[in-house]
Amino acid sequence: MKVIGGSDKVRPGVVVRGVVVVALSASLAMGCQAPSAGTSAQPSRTKPLTSASTGTATSSGNAVTASVATSPIAVSPLAITTTRPCGVASAAPRIDHVVWIIMENHGRGQIVNNTQAAYFNSLRKKCGYASNAHAITHPSLPNYIAMTSGGTQGVTDDANPAAHRLSAANLFSQLGSGRWRTLAESMPSACYRSNSGTYVPRHNPATYFTNVASQCATQNIRLTATPSFSAPFTLIVPDQRSNTHDTSIAYGDQWLARFVPKVINSAQYQSGRTVLFITYDEDENAGNTSNPIATLVISPRTPAGRVSTSYFTHYSLLRTTEELLGLPLLGKARAAYSMKGSFRLG
């Protein structure tokens, strides 16, 4: 295995098992800011970058974006299946559907190469893996607020929506009516804002934003056995057992093994126009300010076995989603590395 992009551990780079391929994030914002408390420092965005189209180093001065390959991807004409979900697109339709699955409270070292996470690690080898991904802070809720609004909005605890009535612009308000959906497992009723059994609203960020209250009532619904992924953006919220919060890593991995094939077999994924991100909200070690997490990128366009060593955070996830769906960048997403180029998403 060879890391492309130099010896700098946080410099954007990509590893593909068995072959050497170079790619880089599609867009980078300039001007590093000092990290806030509870976060780890980002690398300088003025270092040489690796072009996704040529593999040559390019420098970025004040530019906001970096060039990426625009030619169609011709990987393999094989059909998309649950056993080969990535690296099988014979053409490159534009991705216009994004699905997130957020698991709970386990750091990268607890998941990667752990036999209790056999399914997760099988996807890591078959699809894309962000090996240098990090959460924002502790505890859970401010991470969910950050990944959907570009900042923690002053939230530092896990209190319910009644304690945090947020009006900041967010991914849900950007998308608007009919263009997003939250599917929350075990939620008693639509947009439920209180704890109930194995459901907690702190993992359901749309319930906190007052500017999407009317949409929340119809677009934030209970996860059923036959979920729809027809909305441009779908957030999957597993309950406290399925997300590994109150159970073992193996229990959550078995849930993923049952659920992820539903995404892969959906019409949206089979069309080649969907990307699925699976990540963890935070490392359970509150004393680790680096907050390393395991993050997967799954799409027909993403080469099988692609590994990126670029420094990604929850803000990178937000930025990449906004770029793919044609939305303005919110808050700290503007200064985060994009995942588009590294994983051939556009």
Extents of the domains making up the chain:
74-155+164-335
- Is the pLDDT reported for residue 262 higher than 50? yes
Burial of 158 (0-12, 13-18, 19+ CB in 10 A): middle
Q: What is the percentage of the chain residues whose pLDDT exceeds 70?
A: 77
Q: What SS3 class is residue 303?
A: coil
Helix axes 314-324, 140-149, angle to 10 degrees: 30
φ, ψ for residue 214 (rounded to 5)? -70, -40
Q: Residue 91 has what pLDDT?
A: 66
What pLDDT, on the 0 to 100 scale, is given for residue 40? 40
Q: Which residues pair with 275 in a beta bridge?
A: 98
Cα–Cα dist 25/31, whole Å: 16
Cα–Cα distance measured from residue 331 to residue 323, given in angstroms and rounded to the nearest whole number: 14
C-beta separation of 12 from 263 below 8 A: no
Give the mean model confidence (pLDDT) for residues 233-247.
98
Q: 255: part of which helix (H) or strand (E)?
A: helix 249-264
Contacts of 217 (CB under 8 A, 6+ apart): 190, 191
User: Which two tokens mark 341?
Assistant: 């180029």
Rounded-to-integer distance, Cα 182 and Cα 161, Å: 16
Output the pLDDT for position 57.
34
If one compares 192 and 62, the residue with the highest pLDDT of the two is 192
Is residue 188 over pLDDT 50? yes
pLDDT, position 92: 67
Q: Give the pLDDT confidence score for residue 83 in this predicted structure.
A: 96
Q: Which of 2, 335, 322, 293 is nearest to 130 (CA)?
A: 293
Q: Is residue 125 scored above 70 in pLDDT? A: yes
Q: Which residue has the higher pLDDT, 170 or 41?
A: 170
Q: Specify whether the backbone of 55 is left (phi greater than 0), alpha (psi in -120 to 50) or beta.
A: left
- Per-residue pLDDT, 287: 72
| Structure tokens, 183 | 């599917």
Q: What is the pLDDT of residue 90?
A: 57
Reply yes or no on whether the pLDDT at 116 is more than 70.
yes
Of residues 117 and 91, the one with the higher pLDDT is 117
What's the CATH number of domain 74-155+164-335, 3.40.720.10, 3.30.565.10, 3.40.50.300, 3.30.1360.40? 3.40.720.10
Helix (H) or strand (E) holding 295: strand 292-298
What is the bridge-based pairing of β-strands 180-184 and 220-222?
A: parallel
Quick one: what percent of the chain has pLDDT higher than 90?
A: 73
Give the 3-state secondary structure of residue 281.
coil
Neighbours of 6 (CB within 10 A): 13
Q: Is the pLDDT of residue 159 over 60?
A: yes
Bigger pLDDT: 238 vs 45 = 238
Helix (H, G, I), strand (E, B) or coil at 212: helix
The DSSP call for residue 326 is: T
> Encoding tokens for residue 22?
């170079």
Is the C-alpha dihedral spanning 229, 179, 327, 163 positive or negative?
negative
